[in-house]
Structure 1
Amino acid sequence: MKPPYEITSLILKYVSSISEKIGEVNAKYLIKTNPQLRKQNQIKTIHSSLSIEGNTLSVEQVTAILENKRVVGPQKDITEVLNALEVYKDIKYLKCHSEKDFLKAHKILMTNLIENSGKYRRKGVGIVKGLKVEHIAPPYENVPFLMKDLFKYLKDKSEISLIKSCVFHYEMEFIHPFMDGNGRMGRLWQTLILMEEYSVFEYLPFETLISKNQTEYYNSLSISDKEGKSTKFIEYMLNIIDQSLSELLENSIKKLSDENRIQIFIEIFEEEFTRKDYLIYFKDLSSATASRDLKKAVENGIISKQGDKKTTTYRKN
């Protein structure tokens, strides 16, 4: 059975905006050309996803653990980071449609943190916020059947992946299949579902934006619970993904070297082009930076220059 939600005009707006930005990321080879950026984004993803769950380690400490340096901090927090690094290291080998891989990922994430990691809960659970019971999860006897149905839904090819990833994330949080680690599994599996269609999501740290405004994250889950459908949560998550792609585009272009920018640009512009064309393509660049890039590329023999001042044009050598 398909989980309940509605397609709103806001959802359609975000799907359109996200698709456009993914196209821009791919066209500009932003991820392929910047391995350092990939590493930084993966560290941010791990740090943010764990900090949402109360992990106290900083980005610098997570980086140090990745580089096998000694870190002083609570052992539980260090174990959480080591486990998350292990999962994200092999994330591309996990299949989003496989319930077996889902349980395997939970086992790695929660090893030495809880008993029965990698196994569905055998007790009833409720989520308490302050003195109030926020959510009572379905009885544990129903968990295996509910999760099987959810994985069947994942295989539905008629569903848009962007929406399907949000629905899975919400429904999994609602079922609450594990005693602990549900939040980080929901975010990890949403990433995996998106990665199947768009490789950029392996390196897109949308958890950073969630961690900056956790109240909104939990509110959207709570409203969806009360309404009995995931519409509000889909709108929230698509907005987060859209914002994350905007940040990625902005930061990536700033961090590209002049040589990388020129190489990316001439892959696209085989014909003659002007400085204005270059500025339209890299819209966050200043005119002075664009002029410097082009001057250096001419000096290095990558492109040649014709004309002067306003009539100047360039061509790939």
Structure 2
Amino acid sequence: MDGKRIIAPPKEVQEAHNAINSYDALTQWQPTNPSNLLSAHLLMMTGLVNDAGMYRQEGVGVMSGEQVVHMAPQAERVPKLMAELLEWLESSDVHPLVASCVFHYEFEFIYPFSDGNGRVGRLWQALILSKWHDVFINIPVESMVHQHQDDYYLAIRQSTQQTDSAPFIEFMLQMIFDAITEAKTSESEGLNAGLSEGLKLSDVDKVILAFIEQGHYMTNAQLAEKCGKSQSTIERRIKFLKGARLITRIGAKKTGYWQVKQ
């Protein structure tokens, strides 16, 4: 992400590139659009599986060692189950915090793709939450569960065993609460006082801040050119910097400019 060369197995490098591209595209998608969901899987799994962007065509089981812990629904049922889940998400009046968790669990239960279900499920919960509040663009679900992966999978298994998504919902809500609490605490302690992993200033953030300090008016396209990044990346980092109260807009949206807060 910082433009540095990485020495790692090609598959892991591909996974990282795909994840960065997927989160860069987050704002372009709608949570209830089935085509967007397939596009997200295609972007996340390009070069990793042969059926990227398509629902699975075979039966699958989730293994824990030698033990099958979950037999996913038959492949022929996947399109209908996913259509019903997306329709529920569109029509539900459940609060987005809870609805995003329910969707995430049901998505993992259906296991619609041959691979990448965890990554896409976490991406999609981040998308649902970001439509409710911009802060979740900068606190992705992937970061929330990174240090709690064992508990994450345990919560999924418990919900499946109980045929009740409550254990998973409770786990994810706790992760969200902890992430926001940590972010607020870090903000009050200052930029260099150990921001949470999801809110750490990147090299791109520092470059953007420096350029904004140098000139009163600079468009996102100009920032993208100076930073050597895509415009969608710049827009995402601008939202982060605004949410972290590091910059503020002066004037109207189209004619104003960004200013670093003193």
Quick check: TM above 0.5?
A: yes
| Aligned twin of 1:149 | 84
| Aligned twin of 2:5 | 70
Contact kept, 8 Å, 2:122 with 2:141, in 1: the verdict is no
| Aligned twin of 2:69 | 134
Q: Deviations over 1:34-71 (max 9, x none)?
A: xxxxxxxxxxxxxxxxxxxxxxxxxxxxxxxx233321
Gaps of 5+ in 1: 1-65, 258-317
Give the SS at the match of 1:122: coil
Q: Deviations over 1:178-216 (max 9, x none)?
A: 010000111000010011111110001443342222221
Tell me how large the CA RMSD over aligned residues is. 1.3
Q: Deviations over 1:87-139 (max 9, x none)?
A: 11121111111110000010000000000100000000001101110100000
Contact kept, 8 Å, 1:206 with 1:244, in 2: the verdict is no
Give the SS at the match of 1:133: strand
| Aligned twin of 2:19 | 84
| CA–CA separation in structure 1 for the residues paired with 2:21 and 2:144 | 23
Contact kept, 8 Å, 1:210 with 1:217, in 2: the verdict is yes
| CA–CA separation in structure 2 for the residues paired with 1:119 and 1:86 | 18
Shift of 1:254: 2.2
Shift of 1:166: 0.2
Residue 186 of structure 2, aligned match among 244, 251, 267: 251
Shift of 1:220: 0.9
1:193 and 2:128 correspond: yes
Q: Deviations over 1:284-315 (max 9, x none)?
A: xxxxxxxxxxxxxxxxxxxxxxxxxxxxxxxx
Q: For 1:84, give the aligned amino acid.
A: A
Q: Which moved more, 1:187-196 or 1:214-223?
A: 214-223
Gaps of 5+ in 2: 193-262
| Aligned twin of 1:163 | 98
Residue 222 of structure 1, aligned match among 157, 165, 188: 157
| CA–CA separation in structure 1 for the residues paired with 2:12 and 2:152 | 22
Q: For 1:145, give the aligned amino acid.
A: K
Q: For 1:215, give the aligned amino acid.
A: D
| CA–CA separation in structure 2 for the residues paired with 1:157 and 1:168 | 11
| CA–CA separation in structure 2 for the residues paired with 1:75 and 1:186 | 24
> What's the TM-score once normalised by structure 1's chain length?
0.59
Q: For 1:212, give the aligned amino acid.
A: Q
Q: For 1:116, give the aligned amino acid.
A: D
Contact kept, 8 Å, 1:127 with 1:133, in 2: the verdict is yes
Q: Deviations over 1:60-84 (max 9, x none)?
A: xxxxxx2333211100000011111
| CA–CA separation in structure 2 for the residues paired with 1:253 and 1:92 | 28
- Percent identical across equivalent pairs? 39
| CA–CA separation in structure 2 for the residues paired with 1:225 and 1:236 | 14
Q: What are the residue-to-residue correspondences of 1:7-156 with 2, within 5 Å?
A: 66-156=1-91
> What's the TM-score once normalised by structure 2's chain length?
0.71
Contact kept, 8 Å, 1:150 with 1:168, in 2: the verdict is yes
Give the SS at the match of 1:128: strand
